[in-house]
Amino acid sequence: MSTKKYGTLKRLARNIRDTLGTADTPDTKNYFLLFAYNGTGKTRLSGEFKDLGKKKIRGSEERTRDTLYYNAFTEDLFTWQNDLETDTDRHLLFNTNSRFFDGLKDLEMETRIREFLRVHADFDFTINYEEGYVSFSRETQSRDGTETVSGIKISRGEENMFIWCFFLAIVQLVKLEALSYDWVKYIYIDDPISSLDDNNVVAVACQLSELLKDCKIKTVISTHHALFFNVMYNELKKESTASRFLSFNKEIGKYIVKNTGDTPFFHHVALLKELRKSADSGKVYTYHFNILRNILEKTAAFHGFDNFSACIKREEDDLDGVVYARMTNLLSHGNHSMFNPVEMVDDNKEIFKKILDGFMETYKFNDDLFTGE
145 shares its domain with 11: no
* Range of lowest pLDDT (74-78, 146-150, 347-351): 74-78
| Contact of 253 with 11, CB cutoff 8 Å | no
Of 22, 34, 2, the closest CA to residue 244 belongs to: 34
Predicted local distance difference test score (pLDDT) of residue 197: 62
Same-domain pairing of 48 and 190: yes
Is pLDDT at 301 greater than 80 in this prediction?
Answer: no
Ranges 106-110, 192-196, 356-360: which has the least confidence:
192-196
- d(Cα 18, Cα 243) in Å, to the nearest integer? 15
Query: Per the domain annotation, does 177 fall within a domain?
Result: no
Say if residue 216 is in the same domain as residue 196. yes
Instruction: Check pLDDT > 70 for residue 184.
Output: yes
Instruction: Indicate whether 90 and 154 sit together in one domain.
Output: yes
Pick from 182, 192, 183, 263: nearest CA to 232: 192
Q: What long-range pairs does 75-79 form, CB within 8 A, spacing at least 24?
A: 75/159, 75/160, 75/163, 77/101, 78/134, 78/159, 78/163
Max mean pLDDT range (186-190, 200-204, 319-323)? 186-190
| Same domain, yes or no: 231 and 193 | yes
Asked whether residue 55 falls in the same domain as residue 137, the answer is: no
Give the confidence band of 262 by pLDDT, cuts at 50, 70, 90: very low
Task: Answer yes or no: do 58 and 132 share one domain.
Answer: no
CA gap 325, 169 in Å, rounded: 37
Does residue 218 surpass a pLDDT of 90?
yes
Asked if residue 175 belongs to a domain, the reply is: no
- 165 belongs to a structural domain: no
For the chain, what percent of residues have pLDDT higher than 90? 22
pTM: 0.71
Residue 327 CA to residue 128 CA, distance in Å, equals 48
183 vs 271 pLDDT, higher one: 183
Buried-state track 200-211, b at ≥16 Cβ within 10 A, e below 16: bbbbbbbbbbee
pLDDT given for residue 335 in this prediction = 44
> pLDDT tens digits, residue range 277-290?
888 888 888 778 77
User: What confidence tier does 186 reach under pLDDT thresholds 50, 70, 90?
Assistant: very high
On whether both 104 and 197 belong to a single domain, the answer is no
Structural domains counted in the chain = 3
The predicted-structure confidence for 321-346, as pLDDT tens digits, reads as follows: 555 666 666 655 544 334 445 677 88
Please compute the mean of the pLDDT values over residues 21-47 and round it to a whole number: 86
pLDDT over 80 (residue 134): yes
Q: Answer whether residue 180 is part of any domain.
A: no
- Give the pairing of strands 186-190 and 218-223: parallel
Q: Judge if 249 and 297 occupy the same domain.
A: no
The residue range of the domain holding 250 is 3-66+185-262
Q: Is residue 246 domain-shared with residue 288, that is, in the same domain?
A: no
Residue 120 lies in a domain: yes
Using an 8 Å Cβ cutoff, are 174 and 181 in contact?
yes
Distance CA 6, CA 247 (A): 10
What is the arithmetic mean of pLDDT over 244-269? Answer: 77
CATH code where residue 220 lies: 3.40.50
Domain check: are 274 and 257 in the same one?
A: no
138 and 79 within one domain: yes
> E strands along the chain, which residues?
3-6, 31-36, 55-56, 63-64, 67-70, 78-81, 91-94, 123-128, 133-142, 145-152, 186-190, 218-223, 241-249, 254-259
Q: Are 312 and 327 in contact (CB under 8 A)?
A: no
pLDDT beyond 60 at 263: no
Residue 29 has pLDDT above 70, yes or no: yes
